[in-house]
Chain A
Amino acid sequence: MREWTNFSQGVSRRHVVKAGLASGLVLALHLPLRAANEPEQMPDNTAGQFAPNAFIRIDHSGKTTLVMPQVEMGQGVYTAVAMILAEELDADFGQVVLEHAPPSDKLYANPIFGIQVTGNSNSIRAFWKPLRVAGAAARAMLVHAAAAQWQVDPASCSAAGGKVKHDSSGRVAAYGDLADAAGALPVPKDPPLKDPKDFTLIGKPVKRLDTPNKTDGKVVYAIDAMLPAMKFATLAQSPVLGGKVAHVDDSDAKKIPGVRQIVVLDDLVAVVGDHFWAAKSGLDAIDVTWDEGANANVNSTDIWNALRAASRTDGVVAKSVGDVEKGLTEGNRVDAEYELPFLAHATMEPQNCTVALTPGACEIWTGTQVATRVQSVAAQAAGLPLDKVTVHNHLIGGGFGRRLEADMVASAVRIAKQVDGPVKVIWTREEDMQHDVYRPAYRDVISASLTDGKVVAWKYKVSGSSIMARWLPPAFQNGIDIDAVDSAVDMAYDIPNLQVRYVRAEPPGVVTGFWRGVGPNNNVFATECFMDELARKAGKDPVEFRRTMLDTNPRLKAALDLVAEKADWGKPLPARVGRGVCVQPSFGSFIATVVEAEVDEFGEVHLRRVTSAVDTGIAVNPDTIVAQLQGGLVFGLTAALYGEVVIAKGRVLQSNFNDYRMLRIDQVPKIDVHVIKSGEDPGGMGETGATAGPPALRNAIYAATGIALRRLPIDRQALAVKRA
C-alpha cells in the first residue's frame, strides 16, 4: 500500500489527488420528513451525549449518531463509513443515525489531503484506521464504564449490538445508560482493534443507508432546498471563457411575469424570479453584449498544436530507474503518442447553491466535496468572517470532481448580495456544460524497447495542464503535478529501465479540474494501449505479454488471470469482434478488465460484454465494490465513445446531452465484476472503473480491426469500411 501524506504538512511524495468534502445540513422547511437514516442537521453541541470523538455521539436513549466526514455522492461511502465505525463500536447497526459533518478541517480533515475533502477514491483508505480507532476507543470506554459499575474486570465483559455484557454473571447494560459514565473516562489513545476474522459487519453485504429515500422523492439534494420567501435565479456567464459584461438590455426580460430582478455583475448576468421558469424565461429574453476579452480567438486546434509542441520539450523527470536511454538503444524500439480531450463532468444534478444572506450572517445550502473551501469562499464573497458562514451540505447528485470546486458558491453569494431575502441559484444544463472546470487535455509520448518478448526500457512523458498547481499548490512541487503522473511513476510492470517525465502546459482560458479517474485516467490509458501495441510487435497474446511482467505485482497478476478466465479470453470470436484487456494498480486497488466489442462496417462500436476482476483488499461492503466498478466502467466507456469538449472562438461548443452524449441503457451490455477475497487493507474504488473502461475498449477495437487508435473519443471514420 501507498504512504499517506498529509498535504497541509508539506509534500514530498506523489500520490494524492482530488477532493471534495463533506459537511452540512439539510434544511427541511416545506419538504417531506426524512427517514431515520437520512442525515440530519448537526446539533450545535454534544451536551448530554457521550461524544468521545468527532464521529460518534450516543445519547441516553442509546441513539447512536455517526458523523460522516466524507460526503455521499453515490459511491456508498456513508454506508461504508458507518459500517467501519459500528463494527469497532459494536453498535446496533440497525439503529444508527447519520449526520453530515459540518465544515471543519480540524475535526474532519481527510488524513491524505490534510483538509476536508472527498476525492481521489480515498475515503476508505484515508479513514480506515482513524474510524476503527474511533469506534474501538468508544467501545473500550463503554466497556470500562460498565465494568466499573459492576466492579468487575473489563476483560470479563463483551460488547455487541449496543450493549455491554458481563459474561459470567449475564448482567447487561445498554450504551445509552452508560453514556454519562463513559463520557467521564479518558479517551484511550491506542485501543485494541478487532481481528478482521471477528468482523460481523465489514465484508458482509449491507444494505445502503442512503437509498430508501431515493426511491420515493423524499431525499433532499441541495437543488431541492426550500426556504420561506425564497426567490429563484439562474445565470449567464460570458460564452467566451473569461469574458465580461459590456452592456445589458433587459427591457423585454422585465416584462415577463414572475421576473423580479435583474442582477448584473462584471462577469455574469442573473435573473431572479418567483420560480426557475420565470428566471430562465427572463434570462432568455435578455440581450447581453459581452466584452469577449483575451480568449476570443482561443480554439481547440491551437490548443492541441501548443500541447503537441510542449510535449516535444524535455519537461521534468518525475521518476527514473536504471538507464532508459541505453535501454532504448537495445532491442526493438517502438514509439507512440496518445491524446485525450477536454471533458465535462455533466453531473445529473446541475450546479446550484442557495444563499440566505443577512447583514451579519450567511447560510449556504449546497452539495460539495469541499465543505471548508465552500465556507471560506462564501465568507470572502460575503465579506464576513468565517464563523458567520454556515454551510449545509447535502447528498450529492453526482460529483465526479466537479464539486471539488466552489465557483458555484462564489457566484451565488455575489448574486445574493444584490437580492433581498434568500435565493436559490440553479445553473441551466447549458451553463453547467459550458462553464465547467474541464478534465485536462493530455498528450503522452512513449518509447519502449523489447527484448525476448519483454519490455526492457520505458520512457514515458505526460504533457497537460496542472490541476494541482491551482487546486492544491503543495502537491505541485519541483515542476511536477503528482496527480498527473499517478499510475505512471508507480506503473504496474517490472521494467528494468524506466523514466517518467512531466511537462506542464496550460491552455489559454480553459480552467481544468479533477474528473473521475484523475491522473490515472490518462496514464492507464496510454500505458495499456501501448502495451497492446508492444504485445503485437512481440508477437504475443496481450494477456500473456502482460503476465510475464507482473511477477512483482502478484495481486494484479491474479486479477488478470481471473478476468481472462471469466471473460473467456482466447475463445474464438466472429469477424470484427474483439476482446481488449486493461490492468491497473490505481487508487490502491488491483483491477483487470476485459471489454468485448464489435465494430460494424460503418465504424460504430457496439459493446458486447464487460468483465472485471478486482482485488481491493478488504471489501468493506462487497456489493458496493461491484456497483462502483459497474458504474465507473459505464462512465469511462461513455467518455471513450463520445466525450470531447471542443473550444471555438473562445466558446465551448457542447451544450447539453444532445451534443455531449451519454451511454444509454440500450447500449450497455452485461457487466460482470468478480471480487477477489483479500485480507489487505482496503483500496479505493470510486474512480477505478472510469479508468479501466477506455483502454480495454480501445484494445478490443484494436483486436477487432487491427487499427491502433491513439486518441479519444473513438474515431468512427477511422474504423469504417463503408460510408453510412
Chain B
Amino acid sequence: MPTLKINGEEKSFDAPEDMPLLWVLRDILALTGTKFGCGIAQCGACTVHLDGKPVRSCLLAIGTVGNRAVTTIEGVGATQAGARVQKAWLDLEVIQCGYCQSGQIMSAAALLAVNRNPTDVDIDAAMAGNICRCGTYVRIRDAIKRAASEA
C-alpha cells in the first residue's frame, strides 16, 4: 500500500502507482484544495510542493514521489513563505473566483522560499505556468512583492 508524507503526516492508501497525485489528494484523501484544471500541466491549478519545489500534480504519478515531502494548499500556511503569501493575497484582495488561487499561492510560496526579493522577471518565470481566468495577474504580481517586503 503506497505511503506518502503529506503536510507532515504519513498517509497510506490504496491506489495504483501510476495514479496522479492530484486524484489521490482529492478523491482518496479528500484534500480538495488542490484543483483539477486541465489534466495536462498547462494551467497550474494542481500545483503542490515536493520538498518545497512546485510541481503539477495532475501528471505526477504517485510512484515517482518516493520519500519527498508533499505540501498542499492545506499545509502551506505552516511554512513562512506560504503564510506570507496567503496574507498578502488577502491584504491586496488578489482573489476573485479563487479556483486557480491554490495553485497560484503554491507557485508564489515556492518562489519566495528560494528568492527573498524577486524581480518582475523572476515573478514571470515562476508564475507563467499558472493561468487565472479571472485575470488577477496584476494583483498577483503586487502581492508577491508585498509578501517579499514583509519577510
Contacts and interface: CB of A to CB of B under 8 A. Distances in A.
Contacts of B15: 275
A139 B132 CA distance: 41
A429 B39 contact: yes
Contacts of B74: 32, 216-218
A217 B48 CA distance: 12
B119 interface: no
Contacts of B131: 348, 657, 662, 664
A560 to B, nearest CB: 23
A274 B26 CA distance: 12
- Contact residues on B (Cβ < 8 Å of other chain), bracket: 35 or more
B96 A277 contact: no
B1 interface: no
Nearest to A277: B23
A347 B129 CA distance: 17
Which of A76, A350, A632, A633 counts the most chain B CB atoms within 10 A? A350
A30 B29 CA distance: 9
B35 A349 contact: yes
A217 B31 contact: yes
A232 interface: yes
Nearest to A221: B99
Which of B23, B26, B42, B133 counts the most chain A CB atoms within 10 A? B133
B81 to A, nearest CB: 13
Contact of B32 (A31, A207, A630, A632): A31
A429 to B, nearest CB: 5
Interface string B80-101: 0000001001100101111111
Interface in A183-222: 207-208, 210-212, 214-221
Contact of A257 (B16, B32, B140): B16
B42 A658 contact: yes
B134 interface: yes
B95 A349 contact: no
Contacts of A347: 99, 133
A395 B135 CA distance: 18
Contacts of A656: 38-40, 42
Interface in A466-488: none
A564 interface: no
A257 B19 CA distance: 11
Nearest to A206: B93
A218 B45 CA distance: 15
Nearest to B74: A217
Contact of A218 (B33, B135, B141): B33
Given A216-B77, A348-B131, A630-B139, A210 B90 contact: no
Given A74-B96, A211-B90, A627-B93, A348 B133 contact: yes
A575 interface: no
B63 interface: no
Given A631-B135, A632-B135, A666-B124, A212 B97 contact: no
A214 B98 contact: yes
A337 interface: no
Given A218-B33, A429-B38, A664-B131, A395 B98 contact: yes
A56 B117 CA distance: 47
Interface of B: 15-16, 19-20, 23, 26-28, 30-40, 42-43, 45, 72-74, 76-77, 86, 89-90, 93, 95-102, 105, 123-125, 127-141
15 contacts: A207-B93, A212-B90, A216-B76, A219-B98, A226-B30, A226-B32, A232-B27, A347-B99, A349-B97, A627-B96, A630-B136, A632-B135, A635-B134, A665-B127, A665-B128
Given A212-B90, A398-B133, A664-B131, 6 more contacts: A30-B30, A349-B35, A349-B97, A630-B139, A634-B135, A664-B127
